[in-house]
A and B are shown apart, each in its own frame.
Chain A
Amino acid sequence: MTTRYRLGGLSRLDTTLMAAGAVLLALLLVLPLVASPLVVDKLTLLMIYVLLAVSWNLLAGFAGLVSVGQQTFVGLSGYFVLRLVEAGIAPLPALAAGSAAVLVVAWPLSWIVLRLRAAEFAVAMWVIAETIRSLVMFDPLVQGETGRSLMTLNAMDADLRRTIVLLAAVLAVSVALVTSYRLLRGRLGGESQAIRDDEEAAGSIGIDTLRVKRTIFLVSALGCTVAGSLWLASAITYQPRTAFGINWSVFMLFMVLVGGLGSFTGPVIGALLLFAIQEVFGDYGSWYLAGLGVVAILFALYAPGGVVGLITGRSLREPLSMRKTLVAPRG
């Protein structure tokens, strides 16, 4: 007699979490109506962090591609926005188009870097980030170190601009969460996790590893570019050393490592944590950065599953897990 197994569905916890997340995001959409500018500004930053963490986790947690060069896309989107605005396009469309334009760079890039493995990939991404920064700094518009400001955004009423940026950020996070959830729950999720666990084996059972990795790479790059545009829209000042700074990668790494590498909820928790830590300890300057490093090391050593791992313990009942579980029929 054969037993028919089926793939496990969503648990009650999962559906509750999803509903709560949806309600929360919907609340954030109406928040600018009542909240002070300070709150709106801070929430925008939080949304940018969530977006970055989710993008990085997609790459490192699900496809096993550890990159320390995702700032390439953060910096490039800002640069493209500046160029588009200089060409006479209104700032808001330019912000959207600038993000999309980065894919023109990311796509050919993926052909090269995705053939590299592990550490080589990480180093290559960093080198690429630095190279592109140097190139951008040659543009007289950016004026080397000095950078450039997106002054045309100031033509807009400050409150309106803040609200639009927050709404765009909330929207971007919602899209990022839903898209990555659907991607990962589907065939691509299984394939990418197989590649992460053993690329040779995944290839040998017929997975087109390059295609899977490229899809994930591009989606992740898009997340970073949107974060970069949102950042520029809220900060206005563009300085290449900052936009292409390794700090973006450090923050992404911290959020994902502490939140829970390879879990769906981990990066969101990590972003909340980083945001809270920054709010509280940000005034301590270099000590705060050193503290971030220590926390990340402690997590890597003693809690490799991050906060999500600590909560679920060994039960493997991870909320919104992307693991495929088999359920035996009753009886």
Chain B
Amino acid sequence: MTRNTNITRRRFGALAGAIGAGVLAAGVAPRAFAASHADMIRIGWVGPRSGPLGIFGEADAWLTDTFAARHAEGIEIGGKTYGVEVILVDTQSDPVRASQETRNLINGQSPDIVISSSTPETTNPVADACEAAGVPSITTIAPWESFFFGRGGKPGERSFKWTYHFSFGAGDFAPLYADGWSKIDTNRKVGMLVPNDADGNAIRAGLIPALEAAGFEVFDAGPYENMTADFSNQINYFKQSGVDIINAFPFPPDFPVFWRQAAQLGLAQQVRIMQMAKAGLFAAEMEALGTLGYGLCTGAYWHRDFPTTSPATGLSSAELAQGFEAAIGKQWTQQAGAQAALLDVTLAALVASGNPNDKAAVAAALDTLTTETAVGTVDFARGPMPGIATTPLVNCQWVKSESGPHDFALDITANALAPDVPISADLKPYRIGG
């Protein structure tokens, strides 16, 4: 181990100097100032903006700018006008980094409130860090059961002092599907494709009995490991069972694998409804599937046709979708509305607190907060657990876009959980190629 090195100490020093200079040029975390006042409200927004979950955070920077522009004159609370500063922090889709960055944010920037969104891998570490530091936090877009029970919450007890969550829940799927699948004639035989992971096991224990109670005959293909390459066993089982409906809760990258094999083995030709959950949230996933994607069904927590307006940004749902497409240059996603709703709840909590710089007052306001948001009414007073509020799902179908410019359009086909949301199209039986 005595090889001569080609980097001498002096050259190494020069190299280190060059790296140091590069460091100084590197930027700091992006932030948006709404106004500079003597009194400031600082909102820390931690979320995935790069990495595998980056698509969930696409709208964040644009929404922050929109929010800041709308409140450029400051926000009046309790007779005082406060300037607003939003500090965006990227988790890089990494739970470890989510936890670390939240602590750094709290210790370094002393935010009045921390908000976060998208998947338990993001919301749970962020909320834990806030709970530990005594900073109020609001999170969304992760089934509330994963948030509450995953963090050790006990039913009926006030388990968390500082952390609040609003989202759809795993319990919503049964009524959503029972309604959505009744729109066309089927033999009411459902094939379940559910992996052996946390969500999967919760679904197996909760959803399957609920569907059976609703009059469906359920054929469970059994637990399988995520990132499976061969689904032929499950596909053959579904074919033999003669199911008209398939309900899959796959790890998102697994779904195209399953569905391509289903088309090759003749299952896709037999099925009338292909219902996805977890997968199929984004048009980008459908575009990757190509013609096999037309006609797939997915639940949605927001849609551009929602008859709602986001108070924090001042935009209606249609305007949110248009604004997203104009600012990002891509087709709108459900995240445009979901993230706007996060800002809506945040703003409402700060206003209701009477003193946004008082963390205890903000948390107390959240305990009973009821507010209108882009995803509908969020009501913490009525929540299934203390500190939890639920929001509805609608059932949707990806169809071939008739007007363009994008390949896929998302139709709302069932609205039992959100009767205010208009149905935009009838459910069509699945057919390869649309």
Residues of A that sit less than 8 Å from B by CB? 36-38, 41-42, 45, 143-151, 153-154, 158, 161, 234-237, 239, 241-242, 245, 247, 262, 280-283, 285-286, 302-305, 309-311, 313-314
Query: Chain B's nearest CB lies how many Å from the CB of A298?
Result: 8
| Assembly CA distance A304 to B132 (angstroms) | 42
Instruction: Render B104-137 as a binary contact track against A, CB cut-off 8 A, 1 for contact.
Output: 1011100000000000110011001101111000
Among listed B91-99, B175-183, B346-354, interface-contacting one:
B91-99
Assess whether A144 is in contact with B3, with CB atoms less than 8 Å apart: no
- Picked from B2, B131, B150, the residue with its CB within 8 Å of the CB of A314 is B2
Among listed B79-87, B195-203, B425-433, interface-contacting one:
B195-203
| Assembly CA distance A143 to B202 (angstroms) | 9
Query: Chain A's nearest CB lies how many Å from the CB of B5?
Result: 5
Assess whether B107 is in contact with A236, with CB atoms less than 8 Å apart: no
| Assembly CA distance A313 to B51 (angstroms) | 40
Assess whether B152 is in contact with A286, with CB atoms less than 8 Å apart: no
> With contacts A237-B128, A239-B95, A285-B90 known, is A158 near B107, CB below 8 A?
no
| Assembly CA distance A143 to B140 (angstroms) | 20
> With contacts A143-B198, A151-B131, A151-B151 known, is A38 near B104, CB below 8 A?
yes
Across the interface, name the chain A residue whose C-beta is closest to B120.
A146
For this complex, 17 residue pairs linking A to B, each with C-beta atoms less than 8 Å apart, are A37-B133, A38-B107, A145-B198, A148-B152, A149-B124, A149-B128, A158-B133, A235-B96, A236-B131, A241-B95, A282-B97, A285-B50, A286-B51, A303-B7, A304-B1, A313-B9, A314-B2
Contacts of B128 in A (CB 8 A): 149, 151, 235-237
| Assembly CA distance A120 to B196 (angstroms) | 30
B229 within 8 A of A: no
- Picked from A36, A154, A285, the residue with its CB within 8 Å of the CB of B107 is A36
Contacts of B129 in A (CB 8 A): 235-237
Contacts of A158 in B (CB 8 A): 132-134
Assess whether A154 is in contact with B132, with CB atoms less than 8 Å apart: yes
| Assembly CA distance A305 to B2 (angstroms) | 8
Query: Chain B's nearest CB lies how many Å from the CB of A251?
Result: 11
| Assembly CA distance A283 to B304 (angstroms) | 33
B38 within 8 A of A: no
Across the interface, name the chain B residue whose C-beta is closest to A247.
B96
Give the one of A146, A242, A302 with max B CB within 10 A: A146
B213 within 8 A of A: no
Query: Chain B's nearest CB lies how many Å from the CB of A307?
Result: 9
Assess whether A37 is in contact with B120, with CB atoms less than 8 Å apart: no
| Assembly CA distance A245 to B5 (angstroms) | 33
| Assembly CA distance A242 to B104 (angstroms) | 19
Across the interface, name the chain B residue whose C-beta is closest to A36.
B107
- Picked from A144, A235, A285, the residue with its CB within 8 Å of the CB of B99 is A235
| Assembly CA distance A151 to B387 (angstroms) | 15
Contacts of A242 in B (CB 8 A): 94-96
B18 within 8 A of A: no
